[in-house]
Amino acid sequence: MLVALSACADTDASPGQVDTPNDEGGIVPSSDAGSLEDAGDVDADADADTDAGPRECSKEGFCHTVLPFNQTLRAVWSDGAGTTWATSEQGSVLRYDGKTWSVHAKLSTALWSIWGSSPTDIWVGGDAGLFHGVGNTSATLAFAQVALPDVDTPITSIWGTSATDVWATGSYLYASGRVVHHTGGVGRDDGPEFVLESVSAKPISYTRVFGSQATGVWIAGSWVDKPGRRAILLRRSPGTSDFVEVSLPTNPNPGGPLEGALDRLYDASLSADGLSVYVLGRAEGAVPAVATGTSADGGQTFTWGFTITGNYKEPLLNAVGAKSASDAWIAGDYGRLRHWNGTEWRQSIITNDKYPVIAPLYAMGGRGDDLWFVGDGIALHRAPSKVEP
């Protein structure tokens, strides 16, 4: 499943600010992919249909759905049965029934993440922690807060393999985070029991958890290392109990301002086929870059590459998701939505009129060809049947 968010200076951050990938700025493949400039992105989208009026979908099949007023979507998840869910900064859990978006539940906290094991078992996370939605049908889900161990920190990412194997993580900006795990137990309040996982001795600000049964559990974040902050990726392989730090690649063309590794983490995800891992961030010199791991042995081991995806003037890139090593997406501010076809990155045509989309895109999700890209007042649904020749 596709997965899958900029402070100008670390020292100016508020102690209570949530550490989401988008709070740091700016998706993907191998080191020989070449550089990507952003100059033509807006023009490519705006020139799509200069003489046409508004239409439901763009020429490339990106359909604009109507959201309730004042909703900034930060996460999206499709249940595979025709219903799509999203969460917003305004504390809403939104539900799309195939025709219309509506606010299904209103929680008293900003919400950053969502994941479900089935249409009737859905988890959302935010500033106030974790919430669990259950019901007899998708339309009757009721959400209740889940008691978590240790101190209360925001939940910015949720993932699992089943209703009895659920992971969640999060942290405040620049502070050590936590990783919690539900294995099916019942807590003291008769709700699902979560235990605190020991992941690393380093003071890591965790922001992403993802994985698969074949590749195990992956956790991404960042930590302050000399001489500055660094992105970090840890993996717990199937059949093991310890998390091991993955050695992320550095810029293969050192020298000048582009030397070094990723000093910011924006997003990270595993491709739908389980054979590619993407870590989106910022390299030294404030340029967006991605570390990509690809596997030739079914996800047991990964070979890594490093790509600079733009320049320091580029709008922030916020999210990455992929179906495979030759079918990936980057989403970002000012309507940046780029597709990787295995050869090149290209801005997608997402506008449905003569004006370019300038709303920021913060997250993506979906199953198969049922893809969603969401952000500030925008929810794009990609429909392959709507693609024009």
pLDDT in tens, 214-232: 999 999 999 877 667 889 9
Summarize pLDDT for 344-355 with one digit per residue, the tens.
Answer: 888 999 999 989
pLDDT of residue 7: 25
- Is residue 183 one of the residues assigned to a domain? yes
Residue with tokens 């504390």: 91
pLDDT of residue 51: 54
pLDDT of residue 30: 29
- Is residue 341 one of the residues assigned to a domain? no
If one counts the domains in the chain, the total is: 1
The 3-state DSSP class for residue 49 equals: helix
pLDDT of residue 78: 93
pLDDT of residue 20: 64
In angstroms, the CA 183 to CA 284 distance is 39
Residue ranges making up the domain that contains 218: 28-325+348-387
Stretches where the chain sits below pLDDT 70 are 1-54, 151, 174, 187-190, 226-227, 253-260
Residue 276 is part of a domain; what is its CATH number? 2.130.10.10
pLDDT of residue 42: 54
DSSP-assigned states of every residue in 124-188? EEETTEEEEEE-SSGGG-EEEEE--SSS-----EEEEEETTEEEEEE-BTTS--EEEEEEEEE-T
- Is residue 4 one of the residues assigned to a domain? no
- Is residue 5 one of the residues assigned to a domain? no
- Is residue 252 one of the residues assigned to a domain? yes
pTM: 0.86
Distance of CA 366 to the CA centre of its chain: 12
In angstroms, the CA 310 to CA 323 distance is 22
pLDDT of residue 365: 95
- Is residue 290 one of the residues assigned to a domain? yes
pLDDT of residue 32: 29
Fill in the DSSP letter of residue 46: H
The 3-state DSSP class for residue 207 equals: strand
- Is residue 11 one of the residues assigned to a domain? no
- Is residue 18 one of the residues assigned to a domain? no
